[in-house]
């Protein structure tokens, strides 16, 4: 058996290291963090209770919130992830209820997103003959707050919130 030979490590030519450093610095400069909370806001915020029709023999209402995101900068900003939290308001206190995650929202209309309408899968139901309008006036009806959070990177930032009015929405 032969003794192991000593092989010196390969060294990159002297010009490669500075070139790699320049490329790395350029990439870091292009990935400059933008504070989403300072440059993006929720606009055209509206909401209410969507008339989801009759489901399994019961009238059903879903909380609904519509909005756009708007950039207040001309800087390039990639797509955002959104999480819309729907919280029940019981005696003035927020209680966790539902949330809807949107993985990718883009600024497709210049500095604005398209109009987004978000509804969770669950809502309130009632047996007929109680109408959906009657449901909104029922003594056990619990109001809901929608909170819109956006993320680019690892931090969630609040974009807006709306206490949903007891308004019936009948159109998609």
Calpha distance 74→61 (Å, rounded): 40
Structure tokens at 79: 């797509």
> Stretch 69-80: mean pLDDT, rounded?
90
Model confidence over 13-40: pLDDT tens digits?
555 555 554 444 444 444 456 788 899 9
Contact 169, 64 (CB under 8 A): yes
> What's the sign of the alpha-carbon dihedral 113, 115, 119, 124?
positive
Q: Which of 40-49, 82-91, 102-111 has the lowest mean pLDDT?
A: 102-111
Q: How confident is the model at residue 76 (pLDDT cuts 50, 70, 90)?
A: confident
Closest CA to 48 of 157, 153, 149, 143: 143
Report the chain's terminal Cα–Cα distance, integer Å. 80
Contact 87, 96 (CB under 8 A): yes
Q: How confident is the model at residue 6 (pLDDT cuts 50, 70, 90)?
A: low
Model confidence over 93-128: pLDDT tens digits?
999 999 999 999 999 888 999 999 999 999 999 999
Place of tokens 């708007």: 70
Structure tokens at 118: 């978000």
In 46-67, which positions are buried (b, 16+ CB within 10 angstroms) versus exposed (e)?
ebbbbbbeeeeeebbbbbbbbb
Of 2 and 108, more confident = 108
- Assigned CATH class of 34-169: mainly beta
Calpha distance 155→33 (Å, rounded): 12
pTM for this structure?
A: 0.79
Domain boundaries in the chain? Answer: 34-169
Place of tokens 């003594």: 139
Q: How confident is the model at residue 160 (pLDDT cuts 50, 70, 90)?
A: very high
């Amino acid at each position: 058996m032969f003794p192991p030979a000593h092989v010196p490590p390969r060294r990159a030519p002297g010009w490669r290291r500075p070139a790699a450093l320049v490329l790395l610095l350029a990439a870091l400069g292009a990935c400059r963090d933008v504070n989403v909370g300072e440059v993006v806001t929720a606009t055209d915020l509206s909401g209410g209770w969507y008339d989801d029709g009759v489901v399994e023999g019961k009238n059903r209402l879903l909380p609904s919130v519509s909005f756009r995101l708007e950039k207040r900068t001309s800087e390039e900003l990639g797509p955002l992830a959104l999480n819309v939290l729907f919280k029940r308001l019981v005696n003035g206190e927020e209680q966790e209820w539902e949330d809807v995650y949107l993985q990718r929202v883009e600024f497709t209309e210049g500095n604005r997103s398209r109009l987004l309408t978000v509804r969770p899968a669950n809502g309130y139901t009632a047996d007929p003959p109680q109408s959906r309008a009657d449901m909104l006036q029922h003594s056990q009806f619990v109001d809901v707050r929608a909170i819109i959070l956006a993320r680019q990177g690892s931090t969630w930032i609040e974009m807006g919130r709306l206490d949903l009015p007891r308004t019936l929405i009948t159109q998609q």
